[in-house]
Structure 1
Amino acid sequence: MPRITAPTVAEHRAAQQRALLDAARTLLARTGEAPSMAEVAALAGLARPSAYQYYKSRQDLLHALVLDVFPRWTQRVREAMDAEPEPADRIMAYVLTNIALVAEGEHAVGNALAAVAPGEELNNQSAMMHRQLQTPLVETLTQLGAPDPQVTAELINAIVHSSTRLLESGAARETVEDRVRGLLGPYVRENRTTPVPESTP
């Protein structure tokens, strides 16, 4: 039995699985190709045979990565939105957090997963993520009294998609964020329930 490095066997197993998933994600983002179990194990600091104690095959590992990547994306966006007490500011948080995730490489990982591990599970997870992301945005727009929250949400998502393309074509994150703030800022300020006083020069 391998040496346990956590208080319990369950915690040890969870930590090793987390290390393998993080290693697989790093390698996938770096190369865009499915890494071998040996490569993943080496980056995670494990012997290759040990990796198979947690994932039966490379496909099994990729499947687990699909189930890990999309929920974590959704959680980051929801947490950023929930941190804003002002509903209008949640719209900006939604867009900027999505931009941050793209800049950090999460979108590249998702695209790479689609290329190396296509299938029903990936499609289902992707569709679920987009529904889960859309829900708090539509709810926020409804709370703000937007005349057609669903359509407005689609337009806001179009900004996210355009920002993604700009980032992936080499635009600087700061530049994209500045443009987004300039574009969405007036809408956010107009819909604040508690207007922020303009600063004086």
Structure 2
Amino acid sequence: MRVGYPEGVPKIAASTVVEHRAQQRASLLAAAEDLLVADGYAALNFGTLAERTGLARPSMYKYFASKDDLVAAVCEEALPPLLARLTTAMDRANSPRDKLVAYVRTQLEMVAEGGHELAATLARASLPPAVRKRIRAVHDQFAPNIEQLLADLGDPRPTLTAAFVQGVINEATRQIHNEPAAETITAAVGFILSGTSARWSRSNALGT
């Protein structure tokens, strides 16, 4: 005679409790990311997540201390693969200039593919400082050092130029769903290359 699970206790699909918890946590993170992208930060809560996953709401606290802990964990899971793709594309480039092109083009290609929705959603949200700190830690750990790249290209003020570059990327991100993606990406790359080249030439001429 088989002994069944008590009512309300989920069956363990994995071979061990540890594996089950890991699978359940991954399922919760995936569902939370879907909800964030579809409905926004304000709409995400443990109640809606419980409805989506079929897990009892009190059980959520076995995995995440709060909604903000959940959101930070989603970013810690989702961002490293995207940043790794960006780093790989830059590593394949042969020169600092080509690395800059890869930095811009790869980010915008991911936007065109739909890989930017989570970041865009959270950029619009009023996140607590602790959550932004955890997201920043992921970015600092995995993101390429664009300022160092610009310094390698001879930029006298790489921090300022990096802000300009990011501004172009941000605007291209906004335009990419309204204009042909390939044209928007090419225009953004060309604008950044021409703008940075002109800036470096002017700085060299002025001796600054």
Equivalent-residue separation in structure 2 for 1:144 and 1:179 (angstroms): 21
Equivalent-residue separation in structure 1 for 2:78 and 2:22 (angstroms): 16
When residues 147 and 62 of structure 1 are mapped into structure 2, their CA distance, relative to the original with a 3 A threshold, is closer
Calculate percent identity across the aligned residue pairs: 29
Q: How far is the alpha carbon of 1:111 from its aligned partner?
A: 2.7
2:64 aligned counterpart, secondary structure:
coil
8 A contact 1:70–1:125 mirrored in 2: no
Count of residues paired in the alignment: 184
Task: Point out where structure 1 has 5 or more consecutive residues left out of the alignment.
Answer: 190-201
Moved more, 99-108 or 71-80: 71-80
Corresponding residue of 1:197:
none
Q: How far is the alpha carbon of 1:13 from its aligned partner?
A: 2.0
Q: Which of 70, 76, 82 is residue 91 of structure 2 equivalent to? A: 82
Corresponding residue of 1:107:
119
Q: How far is the alpha carbon of 1:162 from its aligned partner?
A: 1.7
Question: For each residue in 1:127-156, what CA deviation from the matched residue of structure 2 results, as whole angstroms up to 9, or x when unmatched?
Answer: 556656876212222233334333332221
Corresponding residue of 2:70:
61
Equivalent-residue separation in structure 2 for 1:20 and 1:152 (angstroms): 39
Q: How far is the alpha carbon of 1:65 from its aligned partner?
A: 2.9
8 A contact 2:147–2:159 mirrored in 1: yes
Corresponding residue of 1:12:
20
Equivalent-residue separation in structure 2 for 1:84 and 1:136 (angstroms): 15
Q: Which of 179, 188, 202 is residue 180 of structure 1 equivalent to? A: 188
When residues 133 and 47 of structure 1 are mapped into structure 2, their CA distance, relative to the original with a 3 A threshold, is closer
Corresponding residue of 1:159:
168
Task: Point out where structure 2 has 5 or more consecutive residues left out of the alignment.
Answer: 1-8, 198-208
Q: Which has the higher contact order (CA 8 A, sep 6+)?
A: 1
Structure (1 or 2) with the larger CA radius of gyration: 2
Q: Do residues 150 (structure 1) and 159 (structure 2) align? A: yes
Q: Do residues 96 (structure 1) and 105 (structure 2) align? A: yes
8 A contact 1:28–1:109 mirrored in 2: yes
TM-score by length of 1: 0.69
